[in-house]
Amino acid sequence: MGYGSNYRNSGIHRIRNYAEALDRYNTVEPIRGSGRNAGMKPLGHRNRTQFQLLKGTEGEIKCRLYDTDVVTFYPDDTIKITDASYTTQTTANFIDDVLGIRGRVSDHDIVLSIHGNQYRLAGGMILKRNGEGKLQALQVAKAYTHTVDRKVMKQLRAGIKDFMSYLNGSIKVRDGGTFSPEEKEELVEYLGMGDYAFGLTYVPTWRHGVEDARAKLTKFFDLIKSGDMENWYRASCWLAFSQQMGHGQRKPPPRQHCHLTTHRHTPPTHRAVPSDPEKTATAGPENAGRCRCTLQSKPWGSFH
Domain map (residue ranges) of the chain = 4-140, 150-303
For Cα atoms 297, 303, 304, give the angle at the middle one, nearest 5 degrees: 95
Mean pLDDT by 10 residues, the chain (304 residues): 57 95 95 88 92 95 95 96 87 94 88 90 90 90 78 89 90 80 88 75 64 86 92 90 58 42 40 42 40 36 44
- The C-alpha torsion from 174 through 180 and 186 to 187, rounded to 10°, is 70
Alpha-carbon gap, residue 54 to 43, rounded angstroms: 9
> What local confidence, expressed as pLDDT, does residue 8 receive?
62
Q: List strand residue ranges (DSSP E) for 164-247, in order.
A: none
Among 41, 48, 44, 14, residue whose Cα is nearest residue 27: 41
> What local confidence, expressed as pLDDT, does residue 244 receive?
66
> What local confidence, expressed as pLDDT, does residue 213 receive?
82
> What local confidence, expressed as pLDDT, does residue 275 receive?
42
pTM: 0.55
Q: Are strands 302-303 and 292-294 parallel, antiparallel or unpaired?
A: unpaired
> What local confidence, expressed as pLDDT, does residue 99 receive?
95
Alpha-carbon gap, residue 22 to 61, rounded angstroms: 6
> What local confidence, expressed as pLDDT, does residue 223 receive?
93
> What local confidence, expressed as pLDDT, does residue 197 receive?
67
> What local confidence, expressed as pLDDT, does residue 70 receive?
96
For Cα atoms 15, 16, 17, give the angle at the middle one, nearest 5 degrees: 105
> What local confidence, expressed as pLDDT, does residue 157 receive?
87
